[in-house]
Each structure stands twice: as C-alpha cells, then as structure tokens.
C-alpha cells in the first residue's frame, strides 16, 4: 500500500486526463496547457521547485560523503518510487 | 466535445495563471492541522490507503527527508509546488464545468493552497510547512526569479533554504558571494570563480567599476565604436600574474561586462577580433559591425 508520486499519477491524475481528452479538443487543451500550466511552471517550478531539488540533492550528497553508512541504496526498503515525470498526461507521450 | 473557448473563458485564463503563481510562491508556515489531516486522509482513501490519525509535520522538506528513511525529493507530492498542473485542471473544473471529471484531484488542489511537500505511504502522512520567506527579483516579461543579495532567497522555519542570485542557485561552496557584504568581497577571489554564471553574479554584486578600481586596474586602451559600444582594455596584476580584461558597455542597455582576454592583446580591437574569431591573426584585421542588432 503506498501513495508515491507515481501512484498518484497512475491512479488519480491520468484517469482525469484521459476523460478530459475525450471532452475537449486537443488544440484547446494545448492552448490552456501553455497559458496556465506552462506559465505557472515557468514561474514556480523552474524557479523555486528546481532550486529546492538542487539544494536537497547537494546536501544529500554532502551527507553521503560524511556518513559512510549512508550511500546509494541505503534508503532501500522504502516503497516509494522515483518521480515519473511531471505534468498532466506525463505518461502519454 | 469542446472545440473552442468563449471570450470570457479566454479572458479568465490570465486570472488562473496569476492565482496559480500566487499559490506556488505563497509563504506562511502555519496551517490548520485538523483541516489538512482531513484533506490528506481523503486523498489517501482516493489512492486506496487507510486514513491516519495524525500527521507527521516538518518545517521543511529537507528536515522531513533527513528524519524519515525512504523519503526522497523525487517521490514527494509537492503541495503548493504542484500548482502548475492542479491549476490547469481547476480551470476545467470551474470554467468548463467538468466537476465530476476533476473530482479526484480536488483534495490535492486544496492541499496546494495550504502546505508544502508531502509524502504518504501505508502507515503515515508526512507534511511540510511552506517556506517562511521567499525573495524574488523582477525579470523581463513580468516574471520573477529567486534573488537575495544578502541572505537566503528561500528560508523555511527551521532555517533551511537556499541562496540564489538572479535565479541562479548558489552552491554551498559559494554562499560567501551572498553572505559577504559587497564592499568586503575580494575581487581577486571573485575573478578566480571558474563558473561563468556565478562569477558574473559576484561581479554584479561588487559592481563593475568598483571591481576594477579595487584591483587597481590600468587602462591600456580605449575604443568607441561609431555605431555604439564603448570598450576599455584593462590590465590587472594578480600576484605574479598579469591579466588583461576587456570591459564592454552595452550600447542599448548600458550594462557593463568584463571578459578575460589573452595577455598578448594590446588593443580593444584585437580583443574584439579575438572574441569573434578566437585569434587576432585574421587578414582583414578588426572590422566593426555595420549595424547593432
């Protein structure tokens, strides 16, 4: 039982996306995607979210250098998975 | 099938974008834990997970990842930082009437307005507060980027955060660029930064003129281009090394930049030829541009 980003996309977001693609013309979808999702991504995701990711990655690597007990795979046992990518319909490409 | 938007719907898109950006950049560490517990449990049930009785709350995503094994940035739900795609669906929900179709993500949308990053698994729900402070600078096109000349550009309640100048995150080894007051930055140390973007930000912080003054640079040659652009060739003594820099003033924006050129260069024209061709030995010598683009 888990609820990682991948599961949320698989179980929640992608079904919503599929339904919407049947109801809205693809050119209209694209237009809204560029003007809302794209512009917010540019401002929030590209600036803040990516910055936080970079910072966490840097500090995590720093910790791995300091602590030989940690290391690749040390957090295995987690049932959480890697980021499946972002954005609506990310698995539809 | 919806094949076009009405003018009213079209006009509302900008409001959704603006509101989405506000949500994504909102600060404020406090949230109503009962309310967030209710929303996260509703989302858990949606994903087939049992509800939990309480939240594990942390002041920052870093604190959460450090404290609980298995949490990684890549597998988080990003709360307010997921607003890009959540706002996209909110537009369908509110403006195109797709209430039933978008119902599954309503809880995530409400959470985006309240919290930062989250993780959920079978046993627990980990929620982080939004940052306490966020500093931005305006850029062209009305967009903003993370920027704080003196301190962290994003700071969470526990002190964790990041430094950034004009949208460029400053790595740990270079935070001295931010934390050192401009008048105390060492120009020699700044010129030793190999990363071009970081060096550029450090030079901007000191100020180009002050930088050259404090390095006691000697002007070797000047050149005014008839169609715009002023150039100076500076010689700087750094310990035993003599360095030559071309100072350029952009004719349209007035911004100054400095670039290192080979020590054999004697004139601005030679430096400009070297920038263009990678050598000063071209048959025509320096040819100024006919127009500025």
Element (H, E) at B137: strand B136-138
Shortest CA distance from A7: residue in chain B: B47
Shortest CA distance from B172: residue in chain A: A58
Q: How far apart are CA A49 and CA B78, in angstroms?
A: 8
B142 touches chain A (CB under 8 A): no
User: Across the interface, do A78 and B71 touch by the CB < 8 Å criterion?
Assistant: yes
Q: Which residues of A touch B78 (CB under 8 A)?
A: 49
B13 touches chain A (CB under 8 A): yes
pTM beyond 0.80, yes or no: no
Question: Alpha-carbon torsion B224, B230, B233, B234, what sign?
Answer: positive
Q: Which residues of A touch B167 (CB under 8 A)?
A: 47
User: How many contacts (CB atoms, under 8 Å) link A and B?
Assistant: 194
Grouping H, G, I as helix, E, B as strand and the rest as coil, residue B235 is strand
| Contact by Cβ (8 Å): B1, A27 | no
Region for residue B43 given its phi and psi (left: phi exceeds 0; alpha: psi -120 to 50; beta: otherwise): alpha
Grouping H, G, I as helix, E, B as strand and the rest as coil, residue A63 is helix
Question: Angle, nearest 10°, between helix axes B83-95 and B7-25?
Answer: 150
Grouping H, G, I as helix, E, B as strand and the rest as coil, residue B146 is strand
Q: How far apart are CA A55 and CA B169, in angstroms?
A: 8
Shortest CA distance from B9: residue in chain A: A32
φ and ψ of B237, to 5 deg:
-100, 115
pLDDT-based confidence at residue A63 (cuts at 50, 70, 90): low
State the pairing for strand pair B161-165/B168-170: antiparallel
Element (H, E) at B101: helix B99-102
Q: Which residues of A touch B166 (CB under 8 A)?
A: none
Shortest CA distance from B17: residue in chain A: A36
| Contact by Cβ (8 Å): A80, B70 | yes
Q: Which residues of A touch B122 (CB under 8 A)?
A: 1-2, 79
| Contact by Cβ (8 Å): B260, B245 | yes
pLDDT-based confidence at residue A88 (cuts at 50, 70, 90): very low
- pLDDT score for A90: 43
B212 touches chain A (CB under 8 A): no
Structure tokens of B138? Answer: 């305006």
User: Across the interface, do B50 and A1 touch by the CB < 8 Å criterion?
Assistant: yes
What is the distance in angstroms between the Cα of B84 and the nearest Cα belonging to chain A? 5
- pLDDT score for A86: 46
CB within 8 Å of chain A, chain B residues 34-63:
43-44, 46-50, 61-62
Long-range contacts of residues B223-231, Cβ cutoff 8 Å, at least 24 apart: B223/B267, B223/B268, B223/B269, B223/B272, B225/B251, B225/B288, B225/B289, B226/B288, B227/B251, B227/B288, B227/B289, B227/B290, B227/B291, B227/B292, B228/B252, B228/B292, B229/B292, B231/B268, B231/B271, B231/B272
Mean pLDDT of A11-19: 91
State pLDDT tens for residues B79-90.
999 999 999 999
Which residue, among A47, A71, A75, would best test binding to B if mutated, counting the most B CBs under 10 Å from its CB? A47
DSSP B159-194: S-EEEEETTEEEPGGGTHHHHS-GGG--HHHHHT--
Which ranges of chain B have pLDDT less than 70? 289-293
- pLDDT score for A91: 38
φ and ψ of B37, to 5 deg:
-60, -45
State pLDDT tens for residues B176-218.
999 999 999 998 899 888 888 898 899 889 887 788 888 888 9
Length of chain A: 93
Q: How far apart are CA B66 and CA A29, in angstroms?
A: 40
What is the distance in angstroms between the Cα of A26 and the nearest Cα belonging to chain B? 8
Q: In this complex, which of B43, B108, B169 lies closest to A55 when CB atoms are compared?
A: B169
User: Across the interface, do A55 and B1 touch by the CB < 8 Å criterion?
Assistant: no
User: Across the interface, do A78 and B72 touch by the CB < 8 Å criterion?
Assistant: yes
Q: How far apart are CA B3 and CA B9, in angstroms?
A: 13
More confident residue, A5 or B164: B164
Shortest CA distance from B69: residue in chain A: A75
Q: In this complex, which of B46, B50, B75 lies closest to A12 when CB atoms are compared?
A: B46
């Amino acid at each position: 039982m888990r609820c990682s980003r991948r599961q949320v996309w698989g179980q929640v977001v992608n079904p919503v996306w599929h339904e919407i693609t049947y109801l809205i013309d693809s050119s209209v979808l694209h237009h809204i995607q560029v003007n809302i999702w794209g512009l917010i991504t540019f401002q929030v995701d590209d600036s803040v979210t990516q910055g936080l990711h970079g910072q966490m990655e840097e500090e995590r690597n720093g910790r791995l250098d300091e602590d030989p007990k940690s290391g690749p795979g040390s957090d295995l046992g987690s049932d959480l998975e890697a980021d499946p990518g972002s954005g609506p319909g990310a698995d539809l490409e | 099938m919806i094949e076009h938007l009405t003018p009213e719907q079209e006009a509302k898109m900008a409001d959704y974008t603006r509101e989405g950006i506000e949500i994504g950049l909102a600060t404020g560490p406090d949230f109503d834990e009962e309310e967030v517990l209710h929303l996260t449990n509703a989302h858990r049930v949606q994903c087939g997970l049992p509800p939990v009785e309480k939240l594990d709350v942390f002041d920052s995503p870093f604190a959460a990842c450090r404290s609980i094994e298995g949490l990684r940035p890549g597998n988080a739900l990003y709360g307010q930082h997921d607003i890009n795609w959540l706002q996209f669906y909110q537009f369908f929900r509110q403006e195109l009437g797709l209430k039933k179709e978008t119902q599954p993500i309503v809880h995530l949308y409400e959470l985006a307005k309240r919290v930062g990053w989250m993780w959920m698994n079978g046993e627990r729900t980990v929620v982080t507060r939004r940052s306490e402070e966020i500093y931005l600078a305006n850029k062209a096109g009305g967009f903003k980027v993370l920027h704080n000349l003196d301190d962290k550009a994003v700071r969470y309640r526990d002190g964790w955060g990041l430094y950034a100048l004009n949208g460029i995150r400053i790595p740990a080894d270079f935070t001295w660029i931010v934390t050192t007051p401009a008048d105390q930055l060492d120009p020699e140390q700044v010129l030793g930064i190999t990363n071009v973007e970081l060096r550029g930000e450090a030079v901007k912080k000191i100020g180009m003129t002050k930088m050259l003054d404090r390095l006691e640079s000697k002007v070797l040659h000047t050149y005014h281009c008839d169609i715009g652009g002023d150039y100076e060739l500076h010689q700087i003594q750094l310990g035993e090394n003599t360095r030559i820099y071309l100072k350029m003033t952009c004719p349209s924006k007035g911004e100054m930049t400095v670039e290192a050129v080979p020590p054999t260069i004697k004139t601005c024209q030679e430096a400009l030829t070297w920038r263009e061709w990678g050598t000063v030995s071209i048959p025509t010598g320096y040819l100024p541009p006919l127009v500025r683009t």
